[in-house]
Structure 1
Amino acid sequence: MKHISIIGAGTMGNGIAHTFAQFDYKVSLIDVTKDSLDKGIATITRNLDRMVSKEKISEDDKKRTLANITTFTSIADGAKNADLVVEAATENEKIKLDIFRELDKVCPSEAILSSNTSSIPITKIAAVTNRPKQVIGMHFMNPVPIMKLVEIIRGYNTSDEVTKTVVDLSKNLGKVPTEVNDYPGFVANRILMPMINEAVETLYNNVAGVQEIDTVMKLGMAHPMGPLQLADFIGLDVCLSILEVMYDGFKNPKYAPCPLLVNMVRAGKLGVKSGEGFYDYRENKKAEKVSSQFDS
């Protein structure tokens, strides 16, 4: 297994591509526009430069990693020789299902199709293909080159052989694969997202401010990052999408997104990616709490 196709050049996709390429896999990075691909490669280059400056890798390692990545704007072209595909497109069910329908048509019959989905059931994704035994979840953590965990989500029909192959592959990347069952949110987000949502509810109910909530969780619970700051880094739109998938999947009101989170996403305040969320990231300013217009 040497040819890896990555769908999506955003935060997760370029991180996954970086990781595979650094371990000498031949990577096809696929996105819909050349601009998205250029941004993805620029991010990978910056991250490699940081690793060189910290003497974690050499300049030759950086050049070799970049040489292992080829970009494509067509799934048909970028995935036609894939041994493994890792889909890392936006967390939208329709988009993902459409991608897997196309992958099933253009990929070699023996190729394994995986998704980096944060919450959508792998069994549902596999059902739109003619190879459900070869569909599996590989949920990487952000930032991918640094974080060790990979949640391995086995769908209802995923074979033992495919599961073992993906577990072994993850270990070859220096990751710690952890197999979990196929339910909305899996383990990481089933626990994390209700905590983030409760932090938003705490802000919404004027129990405390943004910095106070995050300080309590950092200093009192030994979290490296407070839940509201973490939500900004994940993307508030992504948090909302995951909560909606879990709410729809479990029909349990405890997963219902806080109205404040819904309104912030509607207003385009998505966190780091938009420059403003619970904190202000515009013009590289020191993070500041956003306007109190969202405090009630």
Structure 2
Amino acid sequence: MDYSTLLIEERDGVTTVTVSRPPARNALSGRVLAELDHFLSGVLTGPAPGGIILTGAPGPAFIAGADIREMAAMTPEEGERFGSLGQRVTRLIEEVPCPVVACVDGYALGGGCEVVLACDFAYATRRSVFGQPEVVLGLIPGFGGCVRLQRLVGPAVARELIYTGRHVDAPEALRLGLVTAVFEDRGGMLAAARAVLDRVAGNSATAVALAKAAVNGSRGVTVAAGLAVELDAFREAFTTEDAREGTAAFLAKRPPAFPSRTRPVRTPPSVTGEPLLHH
């Protein structure tokens, strides 16, 4: 696919994906979602980078939301297909075996906020604003906001934010746990995201993928069920060359040379369930 709404930059094992529709404040059109689907599907099936930074083209918004001009003319059937594609993209963000960090500079509303919720964690500039204002349009969050927001901030706070549609500034987003750090400017935020992903890239890619699958797979279930997911991932780690290399390097007091740094990483269905691409 030739990307017309995404800018892809790869540097030192980290891929930066920029949603670029400046005239529409980077809104999520069907085209944007299709391109994100294509890119993320490639990451899921091919060699994964050490990490992905997901951001929006510079301007007033990270991603202002879903494209309202497109949605205004949709039939119920078209709306369902649009929502299904948005849900697929946010699930792919969760299923790719490397960390995905949202770097938010400006408005992250509606679908933009839902993209943030699907990422492993998020950084934001001080001017950023978050929210799920769909009820103002007579709609509801459809890309996973009703599901993921309550898991992150708790059911009561999620209900209040979704029912009112109110906006949340960066300091409140930090307090609620929507973001993990707030920066004064875009440059500092992107540098910090790259630094943390550089550190992740020095670890076992297989172990990081297994840890991500265990964290995501144990959310919203009982402690017993969550521990079962974790134990599956823990056992799987012992089957890998990385575990043998990492423990041997530790005992030999030398830096590890993890084989997974140069190979495609696959997280087994025993940990993740059936891969999304097979659904």
- TM-score computed with the length of structure 1 as normaliser: 0.28
Q: Which has the higher contact order (CA 8 A, sep 6+)?
A: 2
- TM-score computed with the length of structure 2 as normaliser: 0.29
